[in-house]
A = this chain, B = another copy of it.
Amino acid sequence: MGELVFIGLGLHDNEGISVRGLDKVRNAEIVFIELYTSLMPGFSLQRFEKTVGKRVTRLSRVELEDRNGRALFDAAKKYRTVLLVPGDPMIATTHVSLRIEAEKLGIATRIVNGASVLSAVIGVSGLHNYKFGKSVTIPFPDETPSETPYRVISQNRRSGLHTLCLLDINTSDEKFLSIRDALKELLSIEEKRKKGIVTPNTLVVGIARAGGDDSVVKGGSVKEILNHDFGGPPQSLIFPGRLHFMEAEALIVLAGAPKDVGKVRQ
């Protein structure tokens, strides 16, 4: 009897996977991996294959989405099959679609969780998790310009809530949206809408490579963060809503925000 186990690789590199996940890979008969739904800057497939002593077949977006994961399902009907994915499985809607499709084909599915960028970014900022509203992804402005992120930040702020913004990546041509370009895009929307949601003086937190040993987190005004060097991807932004005094202290001590952060326009 086959099965399909979705295993999260966690964050950053080969060491993000859980002990349980590694164990299940070692016991699997067929192992696939996708590395396009999120970016793991330190991950080496070759090194991973050596660790688990197995061949791992990489599947592209075309194979998993346009061809409906045929290779994956053919294997999982007969064999103990694993699909390795960056971060935590099921946060990318592609994984949910694949899981539904597998179950409809009569294939038993399971999930082995990994650390997620969502929780890591929130954690490293020191802001309180239960004060985040809806999160949003900022797309490449030249490909799919969208005012949705601006609107989501605005809605959350009206309720005093923080907004986590993931920045788009395109792993096939190794493009990623930087904090700088994301902020510029939001400022240009501000110029049209003039609601005072993202101005040069708005408080924002930039985070790069959350979960890695070289992660960077920096809080300050938009004009400060625009010129901060965050290094490589992946990068994200948090627009804080109302700050609890402990959150203000966290931004000062842990994110190098200015001492008057509680008074910066939020």
Nearest-neighbour CB distance to chain B for A124, whole angstroms, equals 6
Q: A123 to B89, Cβ gap below 8 A?
A: yes
Interface string of A16-50 (1 = CB under 8 A from B): 11111011000000000000000000000000000
Q: B114 to A118, Cβ gap below 8 A?
A: no
We find that the number of chain A residues with CB closer than 8 angstroms to chain B is 58
Q: B20 to A18, Cβ gap below 8 A?
A: no
Copies in the complex: 2
A88: Cβ under 8 A from any B Cβ: yes
Q: Which of B20, B93, B99 contacts A16 (CB 8 A)?
A: B20
A135: Cβ under 8 A from any B Cβ: yes
B-contacting residues of A (Cβ < 8 Å)?
A: 8, 10-11, 13-20, 22-23, 88-91, 93, 96-97, 99-100, 103-104, 110-111, 113-116, 118-120, 122-124, 126, 128-137, 155, 159, 161, 210-211, 213, 246, 249-250, 253-254
Known contacts A15-B23, A111-B211, A130-B137, then 9 further A-B pairs from the complex at CB < 8 Å, ordered by chain A residue? A88-B120, A90-B122, A100-B126, A100-B253, A113-B119, A116-B119, A118-B129, A130-B136, A133-B133
